[in-house]
Amino acid sequence: MYSPKIKEEFIPILYRISASQRIPMTKLVNQIIKDYLERDFQIQSEKTVEELKEKLDPTTVSSLSTEINKL
């Protein structure tokens, strides 16, 4: 499975936020992604990958990929 790398510049801020909330960085990043998808794409976390593919057209997938790469 593809595992994208988080840009080094984001690690310190993610670390500080996760430490202040006393949660692992992975949990913090997953929550940030979940909140983004639910807010901007009205995607519920229990949806399957196939349901997501059906909901998102190729343009949206490309846009989402661009936004994720900006993070």
pLDDT in tens, 6-65: 999 999 999 999 999 999 999 999 999 888 887 777 666 555 556 666 666 666 666 666
Token representation of residue 59:
């343009």
pTM for the model stands at 0.57
pLDDT tens string 2-23: 888 899 999 999 999 999 999 9
Q: Supply 69's token pair.
A: 């790469």
d(CA 30, CA 23): 11
| pLDDT score, position 60 | 62
What local confidence, expressed as pLDDT, does residue 7 receive? Answer: 92
